[in-house]
């Protein structure tokens, strides 16, 4: 419903930008002042601006994939077009009020052309860098000390990944890079903290190859996951969800995919790792998924545990940190935030989360939030990185 209400605003923004573009091109070259040339510019602009909407209504297949991918690139370009063109216009309005500035020069074609060139270069640079940077996966390392007895285990290498968002944006190439990074760490335990899928199972370009790639993960004590808010069957357009108020659940094919890939899904349940460590996977706080109406509280999670042993929790969203720490959890592994993914989101996201990304100590509990492997929406990362987290956990009695 909100998407429908905001659609007129989206249309007005497009009119503002295309009007600015036509005017600037017309000043740069007289050929762009012709009616035919302007029609071509408008037609090309409409193609890109409407691509995500067209893709939304198409049935699954190569044509839908093409339009959705174009639309996702366009969202990133649009963001920086709005920011830079809007900033240029605001700056121009401010300068017009300063009497010391030569107003005739300020209104000249030369200043207008230079302003447009600077905006175009800035938009192109940010967009290209964002696309390239989104495909690079880094390894961020942490070391934690847990003052509990883990039996014969004195040290454990845990690799955390999250927010793969496999679908139209993320496919075999990115997942293969991730698996290579994971295996390079020689992990004892591998954790996926939710948003493995990007809502639509049919968006997977090659499920069989993805399964084959994920099965190559080498982990001494196994590979475990929890679901996130996008691991459900749901239609999405530009970040807005559709499907009504009914409970949304994972596609059964998602569950089967993980099982075949050798990934154990934990849904409000725990397992014992090496008979020494509790590992608990929480369902998403907003969309707990199939068979779960209300997820267990931190107190309920640990109520039947021997808290002299280490307790690890996988929770997609980094919430209830104090409650988890008070309940005796030692290591809380999360994702969800993408660290804001794209500037200026990487600045504003820190106002929304107690730990938006990285490490935080809450009481005796270590909380680590990864910025994720994949992306959601715009196929770019600006001001953030795609990463896996390699965590050296030392146990001291």
Amino acid 111: pLDDT: 87
Amino acid 324: pLDDT: 98
Amino acid 103: pLDDT: 78
Q: What domains are defined for the chain?
A: 2-133 (no CATH), 137-395 (3.60.21.10)
Amino acid 250: pLDDT: 82
Give the residue-averaged pLDDT of 217-235.
93
For the stretch 178-210, pLDDT in tens is 999 999 999 999 999 999 999 999 999 899 999
Amino acid 106: pLDDT: 78
Amino acid 387: pLDDT: 98
Give the residue-averaged pLDDT of 119-124.
96
Amino acid 244: pLDDT: 54
88: confidence class by pLDDT, cuts 50, 70, 90 = very high
Amino acid 353: pLDDT: 94
Give the residue-averaged pLDDT of 227-252.
76
Global pTM? 0.92
98 vs 117: CA distance, rounded Å? 24
Q: What is the overall mean pLDDT for the chain? A: 92
Give the residue-averaged pLDDT of 292-308.
92
From 78-92, 100-114, 363-377, 382-396, the region with the lowest mean pLDDT: 100-114
238: confidence class by pLDDT, cuts 50, 70, 90 = low
- Percent of the chain at pLDDT above 90? 79
Residue 258 has pLDDT above 80, yes or no: yes
Residue 322 has pLDDT above 90, yes or no: yes
């Amino acid at each position: 419903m909100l998407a429908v209400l905001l659609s007129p605003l989206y249309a007005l923004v497009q009119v503002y930008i295309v009007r600015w573009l036509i005017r600037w091109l017309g000043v740069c070259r007289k050929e762009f002042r012709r009616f035919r040339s302007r029609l071509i510019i408008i037609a090309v602009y409409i193609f890109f601006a409407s691509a995500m909407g067209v893709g939304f209504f198409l049935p699954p297949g190569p044509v839908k994939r093409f339009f959705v991918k174009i639309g996702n690139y366009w969202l990133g370009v649009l963001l920086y077009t709005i920011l830079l063109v809007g900033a240029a216009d605001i700056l121009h309005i401010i300068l017009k009020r300063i009497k010391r500035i030569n107003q005739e020069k300020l209104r000249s074609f030369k200043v207008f052309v230079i302003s447009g060139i600077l905006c175009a270069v800035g938009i192109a640079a940010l967009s290209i860098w964002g696309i390239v940077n989104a495909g690079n996966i880094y390894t961020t390392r942490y070391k934690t000390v847990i003052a509990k007895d883990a039996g014969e285990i004195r040290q454990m290498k845990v690799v955390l990944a999250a927010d793969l968002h496999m679908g139209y944006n993320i496919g075999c190439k990115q997942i293969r890079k991730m698996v290579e990074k994971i295996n390079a760490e020689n992990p004892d335990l591998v954790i996926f903290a939710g948003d493995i899928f990007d809502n639509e199972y049919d968006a997977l370009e090659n499920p069989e190859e993805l399964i084959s790639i994920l099965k190559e993960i080498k982990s001494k004590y196994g590979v475990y996951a929890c679901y996130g808010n996008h691991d459900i069957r749901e239609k999405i357009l530009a970040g807005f969800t559709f499907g009504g108020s009914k409970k949304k659940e994972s596609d059964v094919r998602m569950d089967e995919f993980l099982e075949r890939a050798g990934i154990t899904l934990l849904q409000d349940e725990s397992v014992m790792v090496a008979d020494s460590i509790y590992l608990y996977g929480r369902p998403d706080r907003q969309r707990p998924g199939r068979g779960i109406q209300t997820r267990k509280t931190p107190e309920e999670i640990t109520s039947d545990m021997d808290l002299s042993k280490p307790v690890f929790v996988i929770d997609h969203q980094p919430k209830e940190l104090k409650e988890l720490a008070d309940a005796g959890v030692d290591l809380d592994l999360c994702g969800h935030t993408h660290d804001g993914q794209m500037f200026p989101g990487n600045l504003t996201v820190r106002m929304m989360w107690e730990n938006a990304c990285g490490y935080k100590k809450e009481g005796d509990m270590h909380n680590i939030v990864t910025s994720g492997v994949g992306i959601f929406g715009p196929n770019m990362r600006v001001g953030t990185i795609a990463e896996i987290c390699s965590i050296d956990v030392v146990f001291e009695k």
